[in-house]
Amino acid sequence: MRQIVLDTETTGLEVEKGHRIIELGCVELVNRRRTHRTLHHYLQPDREIDAGAQEVHGISAEMLAGKPRFADVAREFLDFVADAELIIHNADFDVGFLDAELGLLGPDAPRITGVCTVVDTLALARRLHPGQRNSLDALCKRYAVDNTGREFHGALLDAQLLADVYLGMTGGQATLLLDQGAGETAVQHLATRPVARDGLRLAVVRASADELAEHERYLALLDKQSGGKTVWRTLGQRP
C-alpha cells in the first residue's frame, strides 16, 4: 500500500478570498514504512501573505522571490501522489487549497479526490480521543513524537511529524502514556509506537511445574470465592 503524508502552508486561511499555497510538503510511505522519498517546494503565490499566516509559518514574500509557481510543479506533484492514499491533518483545508490551485490550471485539470483517496487524521484523532486537543502538537506529545524543532509550521516538517503520528495512531506496540494538556484532567491513553518487524523472533517461555502448581492453587482460591464460576475454568471446558 502506498500512502503520501501531505501538508501545505498558505498565504491565509480563506481559499475563497483567493489565498494561495506557498509551501507543499509530501512524505511517501509504502507498506507503512518511510521510503525516504519526499516532494517539497516553496511556491510564488503572486499575492501578499497575511501577517497572521506569516506569524505561523514564518515564510515571507522575500523568501519566495524567484520560486516556482504551482503551475510549474503541478505535473510533478500529480505524478507523485497518483493512485496513493493521502494522509492529511484537517484534510478539508489542504484539499480545498489544492483543488483551487488545480482549478487555475484549466477546466480539464483533475481534482484531488479524482487522483487519490484521502484520510483525515484530525477526524481519526477526534474519534480516538474525543473531547481532547488533537492539534499536531498535541498528537506529537500523545504519541511521543519529537517535535522540539517545530518553532514554526513548515509543510515538509509537519508532513514528517504527521507520518510518525499516523503510524502511532494506527498500529504498532502498545504503551501507556500519561497525556495531560492545559486545562485537561490527566488521563491514561493507550498509544502506539511502530515496531520494526524484520527478522523479529519472539521467544516462547513456558511455565515451569512450580508456576503451574501455583496457578492451580490460585484458581482453586478463585473457585472457592466465586462459587465455582472461575472464568479460566469455564474457558478450559469449552469445545
pLDDT digits (tens, 9 = 90+) for 157-203: 999 999 999 999 998 543 334 344 444 433 334 444 555 566 666 67
Contact 149, 157 (CB under 8 A): yes
Based on the domain organization, do 121 and 45 belong to the same domain? yes
For 225, the grid coordinates are 470465592
Give me the residue label for grid cell 482460591: 221
In this prediction, residue 12 carries a pLDDT of 95
Give me the mean pLDDT over the 98-121 stretch: 96
Q: Where are the beta strands (DSSP E) in the chain?
A: 2-10, 21-30, 33-42, 85-88, 117-120, 173-179, 187-193
CA 122 to chain CA mean position, Å: 8
Asked whether residue 159 is domain-assigned, the answer is yes
Asked whether residue 198 is domain-assigned, the answer is no
For 54, the grid coordinates are 506569516
Based on the domain organization, do 106 and 152 belong to the same domain? yes
Highest mean predicted confidence (pLDDT) among 73-77, 213-217, 226-230 = 73-77
Based on the domain organization, do 175 and 238 belong to the same domain? no
Residues involved in catalysis: 153
Based on the domain organization, do 181 and 208 belong to the same domain? no
In this prediction, residue 235 carries a pLDDT of 61
Mean pLDDT of the chain: 85
In this prediction, residue 218 carries a pLDDT of 77
For 208, the grid coordinates are 515451569
Asked whether residue 116 is domain-assigned, the answer is yes
Asked whether residue 216 is domain-assigned, the answer is yes
In this prediction, residue 178 carries a pLDDT of 38
Structural domain of 238? 203-239
CATH at residue 119: 3.30.420.10
Asked whether residue 186 is domain-assigned, the answer is yes
Asked whether residue 112 is domain-assigned, the answer is yes
Based on the domain organization, do 174 and 71 belong to the same domain? yes
Based on the domain organization, do 188 and 222 belong to the same domain? no
Tens-digit pLDDT profile for residues 4-29? 999 999 999 999 999 999 999 999 99
Give me the mean pLDDT over the 127-134 stretch: 95
Based on the domain organization, do 211 and 185 belong to the same domain? no
In this prediction, residue 47 carries a pLDDT of 95
Q: Provide Rg for the chain, Cα atoms.
A: 25
Query: Beta strands 2-10 and 85-88: pairing type?
Result: parallel
CA 182 to chain CA mean position, Å: 22
Name residue 187's beta-bridge partners.
179
- pLDDT-derived band at 62 (thresholds 50, 70, 90) equals very high
Tens-digit pLDDT profile for residues 87-109? 999 999 999 999 999 999 999 99
Q: What is the value of pTM for the model shown?
A: 0.71
- Of 106, 42, 41, whose CA–CA distance to 77 is shortest? 41
- Of 193, 230, 159, whose CA–CA distance to 7 is shortest? 159
For 48, the grid coordinates are 501578499
Based on the domain organization, do 47 and 135 belong to the same domain? yes
Based on the domain organization, do 53 and 114 belong to the same domain? yes
Based on the domain organization, do 207 and 113 belong to the same domain? no
In this prediction, residue 234 carries a pLDDT of 66
In this prediction, residue 175 carries a pLDDT of 38
In this prediction, residue 195 carries a pLDDT of 55
In three-state secondary structure terms, 157 is: helix
Based on the domain organization, do 124 and 158 belong to the same domain? yes
Number of domains forming the structure of the chain: 2
Asked whether residue 149 is domain-assigned, the answer is yes
- pLDDT-derived band at 120 (thresholds 50, 70, 90) equals very high
Asked whether residue 50 is domain-assigned, the answer is yes
Based on the domain organization, do 99 and 138 belong to the same domain? yes
Give the span between the Cα atoms of 45 and 74, in whole angstroms: 14
In this prediction, residue 18 carries a pLDDT of 96
- pLDDT-derived band at 70 (thresholds 50, 70, 90) equals very high
In this prediction, residue 10 carries a pLDDT of 96
